[in-house]
Chains A and B, each alone.
Chain A
Amino acid sequence: MTQLPDGRYVDDAPYDPEASLQQLERKDLDAPNWLLVWRKFRQHKLALVSGIFLLLSYLMLPFAGFIAPYGANERHEEHLYSPPQLVRFFHEGEFLGPYIYPMTAEANLETFQWEFKPDYDDPSRLQFFCKGTEYRLAGLISSRMHLFCAPEGQTVFLWGSDRLGRDIFSRILYGAQLSLTVGLIGITVSFVLGIGFGSVAGYFGGTIDWVINRVIEILRSLPELPLWLALSAAVPSNWSPVAVFFIISIILGILDWPGLARSVRAKFLALREEEFVRAAEMMGASSGRVIRKHLIPNFMSHLIASATLSIPAMILGETALSFLGLGLRAPAVSWGVMLNDAQNLASVDIYPWIAIPMLPIVIVVLAFNFLGDGLRDSLDPYQS
């Protein structure tokens, strides 16, 4: 509180223009829940940006083949470990549009490495909407059209190429298809199990509750990774990559449900005694209906927030398993499979770009964490 020269008192606290937005007005209490949630969520800038980024990433997945200039397992024997090529726009002060300098590989017989020399006199422009390797759009429609490809007779490796001469940029896009969906499938499995067991335990109580509770405690007290390893070691090696992918995501989900089930159970215990549940039961609703129609909607939003926070653990889990060679296997492409190449420190030292797949992992995991935090804060709009 400061006293102005004219005798008035002024609050020292800085003026917060957002304050009135936070205040709930009478008409807000009648507004639909999602509107209030959205209004609050919008203020978490970081969560908003993360959400948009994740949305775009997932929307991109079906079109990975279109955006990527090369196929996932397309090899360029002449360009092993090619360094990243920069896309430039101006050549000697003259605007040329996106172009690259062609790379020629030369074997250095002293170090036994390929050395790549850009040819600075011959800028060649990238082609757009051009024909390249065949791929399937969203896994269904066969197409040869690519967003951009290399000029005739040259290569474009935005993020370099790996030890077999495969384009890392294209592989990251294809890898996203598996790495990003593994978490979604896993979380679905975990959700179904968690809500199922948690609600049964919380609603019925008694012996069922005791048994489920012990199972939850046991599973939570065990380290996940060794069990993941043991379970994925049990996957027969002659299965197709798609089958392996599904079974790995299910394995990731199977060990994740206890945490969810525990919070569902706690919520149920609290809500079971509420009047509206009693009323529904009095009117003859079956247990299933009470659970589905009256109880679960009450904390669905919380569950969604906690699910968002556990997806990254699954993405990291898949990466770790594939990295150790027990998860997805080549020819399947995921970020973990790509990092398997980066296990060798010596080659990372010489060709640092083969470790690039760690960037999308870190970014996606961070984005999920921020989004989850934002959701958790904003899902209860009636709390100021």
Chain B
Amino acid sequence: MQILRYAIYRFGTMLLTLLVVSVMIFVIINLPPGDYLSNQIAELQATGQTSGVAKAEFLRTEFALDKPLWQQYLIWMGFMPGPHGFSGMIQGNFGWSFEFDLPVAEIVGDTLWLTVLVNLAAVLFVYLVALPLGVLAAARAKTWIDYTAALVGYLGLATPNFLLALILFYYGHKYLNLPIGGLMDPQFEGEPMTFEKMKSILVHLIVPTFVIGTSGTAAMMQRLRANLLDELGKPYVETAVAKGMAESKMLVKYPLRMAFNPFVADIGNLLPSMVSGSVLVSVVLGLQTIGPTLLTALKSQDQFLAGFVLMFVALLTLIGTMISDVLLVILDPRIRYEGREA
């Protein structure tokens, strides 16, 4: 039951972290002077449209934007009763988007699941590609396989994600007839999930997954190679070889298991950069994930929408990291259960 206790402990720290993060996000969102409504009011007054001003003023009190900042935060989170009683994030009310004049939950809707899907696919891609390539590069160190892998890895690290997206997108469409733009064919949008829709989504996922995963794969591959090379120099490997064990069997059985821990633990570093990448790539490729929403919300100072998207992105990475931490403990019994020290 120790694992369960550790999982609960880890969940607790995650919630605390999320609380701190929410304060941080709220502060960042409110850094620009004024808010969406006060800007709108100023604009309406400047153009002499007094009728709109009353509506905007009404919205301001409706969403407690006239209160001091710390109260706004507590109301937003749902720790304090707002104009309509307790109704904040924890009560499941994500706020109102002024730009679209709709509840935030309605705007993000489907995009949340697609965001999770895109990131999950990218993580899977990283593991599936980095694992065999990293092992191969280490087992055949200093041969052309190793050098090719290193070159591809370096290029993957050095090419900005969005450029790779544009290039692949272009050639993928030209030569492989991969679909352009979006995450599904337009006729499936808003439709219930069917087999056809799933197929459409999967085909659309190819390019984004590849693009988002590449830099992560490169980093992961290099790390696995370095770890494995360290292990390969150890005496137990020599013993196994001396006893006449087949190389592939020996590799999988001993050194790979040792080199595997950092590989799993690394997801804590991997996930934030992947989510970053997916936001950028989504904007470039026009995927219906949360990325483009975030960009428009930030540009128009649509604070509740931007705040929610940032919170969601943070939550996604925190949950991912937590899962990897718990997995790590299951994988490696040597890791202490309580409060691992860095």
Contacts and interface: CB of A to CB of B under 8 A. Distances in A.
A32 interface: no
A320 B162 contact: yes
Contact of B166 (A230, A236, A345): A345
- Counting chain B CB atoms within 10 Å of each CB, the highest count among A222, A326, A343, A366 belongs to A222
Interface string A351-374: 000010010011001100110000
Interface residues of A, number: 42
A194 B316 CA distance: 26
B200 interface: no
A242 interface: no
B50 interface: no
A233 interface: yes
Contacts of A370: 154
Given A220-B272, A361-B160, A342 B32 contact: no
B242 interface: no
Interface in A312-363: 312, 316, 319-320, 323-326, 339, 342-343, 345, 348-349, 355, 358, 361-362
A225 B313 CA distance: 11
A218 B20 contact: yes
Interface string B276-310: 11011001100000000011001101000010011
A342 B166 contact: yes
Contacts of A87: none
A369 B239 CA distance: 37
Nearest to A266: B342
Nearest to B166: A345
Contact of B279 (A213, A217, A225, A319): A225
B314 A362 contact: no
A117 B203 CA distance: 42
Nearest to A235: B32
Given A223-B275, A326-B298, A234 B162 contact: no
B28 interface: yes
Nearest to A232: B298
Contacts of A342: 166
A239 to B, nearest CB: 12
Contact of B310 (A218, A226, A348): A226
A262 interface: yes
B124 interface: no
A137 interface: no
B96 to A, nearest CB: 19
A230 B29 contact: yes
A356 to B, nearest CB: 12
Contacts of A222: 21, 272, 314, 317
Contact of B160 (A227, A229, A320): A320
B157 A365 contact: yes
B45 interface: no
A221 interface: yes
Contact of A223 (B158, B170, B268, B317): B317
B321 interface: yes
Contacts of A226: 275-276, 279, 294, 309-310, 313
B31 interface: yes
A366 B155 CA distance: 7
A21 interface: no
A29 interface: no
B61 interface: no
B284 A213 contact: no
Contacts of B294: 226, 229
Given A224-B272, A361-B160, A366 B169 contact: no
A339 B284 CA distance: 12
A277 to B, nearest CB: 21
A231 interface: yes
Interface string B149-168: 00000110111111100100
B310 A316 contact: no
A223 B313 contact: yes
Nearest to B29: A230
Interface in B1-27: 17, 20-21, 24-25
Given A221-B272, A222-B314, A345-B169, A323 B162 contact: yes
A362 B155 CA distance: 8
28 contacts: A217-B342, A218-B24, A220-B268, A221-B268, A221-B321, A224-B272, A225-B279, A226-B275, A226-B309, A229-B295, A229-B298, A230-B25, A233-B301, A234-B31, A312-B158, A323-B162, A325-B299, A326-B295, A345-B169, A345-B170, A349-B170, A358-B160, A358-B163, A361-B158, A362-B155, A365-B157, A366-B154, A369-B154
Interface of B: 17, 20-21, 24-25, 28-29, 31-33, 154-155, 157-163, 166, 169-170, 268-269, 271-277, 279-280, 283-284, 294-295, 298-299, 301, 306, 309-310, 313-314, 317-318, 321, 342
The 8 closest A-B pairs by CB, nearest first: A225-B276, A234-B31, A233-B298, A223-B275, A365-B158, A223-B272, A223-B276, A366-B158
